[in-house]
């Protein structure tokens, strides 16, 4: 039996690689003749470019940057010298992972730290930036990134606005574009298809997880619309909504005003880069998983996209996850994980123990053969 082990990250608890190692250990302990191959997957979510950097064996460039609230943070990006391409996760510098929940303030948060990484990559000679949009702590339309690479934002008196200051977007009245703005292409990897504005847009759907109160949503969206209008007016253009512009608080929408910007479904891009179809063709059994498989997982998430490839090739596929939605989406079997209490300080250790326990409980069931 040849087993392809391709989990996504178990968000907030286990990396995809760690989950894969636990599953592989279980397989070898229970099925002596089994061959395994661990190939973690991602879909544009938190850590996608980090995983691509590892899988493609790219150079990792370490740099100090700033988090979403202007505090120093150790960061990095993947560098492919031959193609002059940098792989950068927004979550590395500007992600929710480095922020304490009680301190969230979307009117203050900025993607400027990600802009520092992009600026460093451009200094190395980057012609293309692959940007993983998942896990952002910001809803700033990418103006923080733009401020780092040649766009200046001014208040009503023509003074440069101070970064990481309250109501930054609301106070933007004028925009200046540097004549030395770099020529670079952005390939933005999305794990969601939401537009920027509207009832399914970035602000009502993702705002709450970034600290935006429901009472503030109407005014916040109005401010965002005003800024978007100014950005596109600066280049004599009109904003046109696109699927995926809602990812990462509208970063791609802001970049698109000044740069060639391509939006791609992150799972498809990732699978192509690592030639995942060839790995599925090799396997007799495919095992995938994620922290919580839910109704949104069919909208481009890695586990579901892998299932579609597996079904096309007639491969049996097992999902490991919390949530119940996977049972009706076509997986041959679902190993259910218990929900976690994230208030417990050792929830990461508990998550690993839960995975090992549920795998062991399933060892005698006939779906393995």
Q: Annotate 141-209 with DSSP letters as a single string.
A: TTHHHHHHTTEEEE-TTSPBPPTT-TTTTTT--EEEE-TT----EEEEEES----SSSTTSHHHHHTGG
The percentage of residues in the chain with a pLDDT greater than 90, rounded to a whole number, is 81
Together in a domain, 149 and 201 = yes
| Mean pLDDT computed over every residue of the chain | 93
Q: Which domain holds residue 332?
A: 2-40+275-368
Query: Is residue 225 very low, low, confident or very high in pLDDT (cuts 50, 70, 90)?
Result: very high
pLDDT value at residue 324: 73
**Residue range 130-152: mean pLDDT, rounded:** 96
Q: What is the pLDDT of residue 13?
A: 83
Taking every pair of Cα atoms in the chain, the longest distance, rounded to a whole number of angstroms, is 73
Asked which of 202, 235, 267 is the last residue of a domain, the reply is 267
Per cent of the chain over pLDDT 70 is: 99
Q: DSSP string covering 265-331, please? A: EHHHHHHHHHTHHHHHHH-SEEEEEEEE--GGGGTT-HHHHHHHHHHHTT-EEEEEEESSGGGGTT-
36: helix, coil or strand?
A: strand
Centre a 10 Å sphere on the Cβ of residue 92 and count the other Cβ atoms it contains: 26
What is the structure's pLDDT at 101?
66
The CATH number for 155's domain is 3.90.1510.10
CA trace torsion 113, 118, 119, 122 (10° rounding) = 170
- Provide mean pLDDT across the span 326-352: 87
Q: Which of 212, 244, 267 is the last residue of a domain?
A: 267
Residues 87 and 207 in one domain: yes
Residue 347 pLDDT exceeds 90: no
Domain count of the fold of the chain: 2
Task: Clarify whether residues 207 and 300 are in a common domain.
Answer: no
For the chain, how big is the Rg over CA atoms in Å?
21
Q: Name the pLDDT band for 365 (thresholds 50, 70, 90).
A: confident
Cβ atoms of residues 361 and 28 within 8 Å: no
DSSP state of 120: H
Do 256 and 361 lie in one domain? The reply is: no
For residue 173, the model assigns a pLDDT of 96
Say whether both 225 and 86 belong to one domain: yes
Contact 139, 203 (CB under 8 A): yes
Of the residues 244, 267, 290, the one at which a domain ends: 267
Give the pLDDT of residue 294.
81
Q: Check residue 174 and give its pLDDT.
A: 96
Q: Is the pLDDT of residue 276 over 70?
A: yes
pLDDT: is 86 or 324 the higher one? 86
Closest CA to 107 of 162, 168, 160: 168
If asked whether residues 202 and 75 sit together in one domain, one would say yes
To the question of pTM greater than 0.85 for the whole model, the response is: yes
Residues 217 and 308 in one domain: no
Q: 240 and 113: one domain?
A: yes
- 131 and 194 fall within a common domain: yes
Mean pLDDT for the stretch of residues 65-80: 97
For 165-218, write each residue's pLDDT tens digit. 999 999 999 999 988 899 999 999 998 899 999 999 999 999 999 999 999 999
The CATH number of residue 338's host domain is: 3.40.50.10350
- The verdict on 85 and 233 lying in the same domain is yes
- pLDDT attached to residue 293: 87
Q: Which of the pair, 299 or 55, is modelled with greater confidence?
A: 55
Q: Which residue has the tokens 């109160």?
A: 213
Residue-level pLDDT at 292: 86
Looking at residue 46, what is its pLDDT?
87
């Amino acid at each position: 039996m040849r087993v392809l082990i391709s989990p996504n990250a178990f968000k907030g608890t286990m990396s995809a690689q760690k989950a894969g190692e636990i599953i592989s250990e279980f397989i070898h302990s229970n099925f002596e003749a089994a061959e395994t191959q661990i190939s973690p997957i991602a879909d544009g979510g938190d850590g996608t470019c980090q995983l691509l950097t590892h899988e493609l064996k790219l150079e990792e460039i370490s740099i100090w940057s700033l988090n979403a609230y202007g505090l120093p943070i150790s960061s990095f990006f993947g560098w492919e010298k031959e193609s002059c391409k940098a792989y950068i996760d927004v979550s590395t510098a500007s992600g929710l992972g480095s922020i304490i929940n009680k301190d969230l303030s979307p009117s203050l948060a900025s993607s400027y730290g990600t802009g520092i990484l992009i600026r460093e990559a451009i200094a190395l000679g980057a012609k293309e930036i692959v940007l993983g949009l998942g896990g952002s702590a910001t809803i700033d339309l990418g103006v923080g990134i733009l401020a780092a690479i040649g766009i200046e934002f001014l208040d009503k008196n023509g003074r440069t606005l101070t970064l990481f200051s309250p109501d930054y977007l609301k106070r933007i009245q004028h925009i200046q574009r540097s004549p030395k703005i770099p020529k670079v292409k952005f390939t933005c990897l999305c794990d969601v298809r939401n537009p920027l504005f509207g009832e399914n847009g970035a602000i009502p759907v993702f705002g709450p997880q970034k600290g935006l109160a429901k009472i503030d949503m109407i005014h916040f969206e109005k401010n965002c619309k005003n800024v978007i209008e100014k950005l596109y007016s600066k280049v004599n253009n009109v904003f046109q909504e696109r699927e995926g512009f809602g990812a990462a608080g509208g970063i791609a929408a802001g970049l698109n005003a000044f740069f060639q910007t391509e939006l791609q479904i992150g799972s498809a891009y990732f699978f192509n880069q690592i030639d995942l179809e060839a790995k599925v063709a090799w396997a007799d059994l495919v095992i995938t998983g994620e922290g919580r498989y839910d109704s949104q997982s069919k909208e481009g998430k890695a586990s579901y996209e892998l299932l579609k490839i597996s079904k096309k090739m007639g491969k049996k596929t097992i999902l490991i996850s919390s949530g119940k939605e996977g049972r009706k989406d076509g997986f041959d079997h679902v190993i259910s994980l218990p929900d976690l209490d994230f208030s417990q300080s050792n929830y990461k250790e508990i998550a690993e123990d839960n995975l090992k326990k549920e795998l062991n409980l399933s060892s005698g069931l006939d779906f393995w053969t």
